[in-house]
Amino acid sequence: MNILAYIIYLSITYIITVHVGLVFYKNGRHYILNLLHGDEKLTLFINRLLLVGYYLLNLGYVALTISTWPPIHNWGSLWSCMATMTGKILLILGIIHFGNMTAIYFIGRHHQQSITHHK
């Protein structure tokens, strides 16, 4: 049963990772560009860095969670495990997303202050 659980979990996390990553990358560009007051080069750098970090974080988390799963013997434990593991990754990604947005906000403020200071 664990093999089936791994296949389901990997499918769910793949869809979440790729879809959400691309949405963040596409829409995050506008958010970052606004915070950095039109600095295209820095926006592209930060946005790519966030996407790579997001993918690496997801891959690492998925690998760690799969390696720690208990044996699954029935459908009830399979769905319980799926819900728990998927819920954990969604919660962690949400927290990290808001942390990233906070960091980008402060980077934007610092960037604006440095531009204002050099004028």
One DSSP character per residue, 28-83 reads: HHHHHHHHTTT-HHHHHHHHHHHHHHHHHHHHHHHHHHHHTPPP--SHHHHHHHHH
pLDDT in tens, the chain (119 residues): 788 888 988 998 889 889 988 998 998 888 888 887 888 998 899 899 989 988 998 889 888 888 888 888 899 998 888 888 889 888 988 888 888 888 878 887 887 777 777 66
Greatest Cα-to-Cα distance within the chain, rounded to the nearest angstrom: 67
- Read off the tokens for 115: 């531009």
pTM above 0.75, yes or no: no
**Close Cβ partners of 72 (under 8 Å, ≥ 6 residues apart):** 1, 2, 5, 78, 81
